[in-house]
């Protein structure tokens, strides 16, 4: 019913965010199946989540290289 995106090298590695989101959603096999498949399609649309992934990696790099915040004591 819903097409899946082709696998890419980046998707070959398990992603903690994907696992966490999957644990929050009901299985696509539970009734009502159409609703649960639609929910999963909205959350896991393949390449449509690439921009948030780039933003997350950018934030990680910035956080690692940013100077520590000054004490407010």
Write the pLDDT tens digit of every residue in 5-16: 545 545 555 578
User: Residue 32 — very low, low, confident or very high, per pLDDT cuts 50/70/90?
Assistant: very high
Model-level pTM greater than 0.75?
no
In the numeric block, the tokens 């299985």 are attached to 27
Q: What torsion, rounded to 10 degrees, do the Cα atoms 28, 34, 24, 29 define?
A: -20
């Amino acid at each position: 019913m819903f097409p899946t995106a082709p696998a890419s090298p980046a998707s070959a590695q398990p992603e903690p965010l994907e696992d966490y989101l999957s644990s929050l959603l009901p299985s696509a096999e539970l009734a009502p199946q159409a609703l649960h498949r639609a929910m999963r399609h909205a959350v896991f649309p393949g390449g449509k989540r690439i921009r948030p992934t780039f933003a997350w990696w950018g934030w990680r790099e910035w956080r690692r290289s940013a100077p520590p915040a000054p004490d407010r004591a």
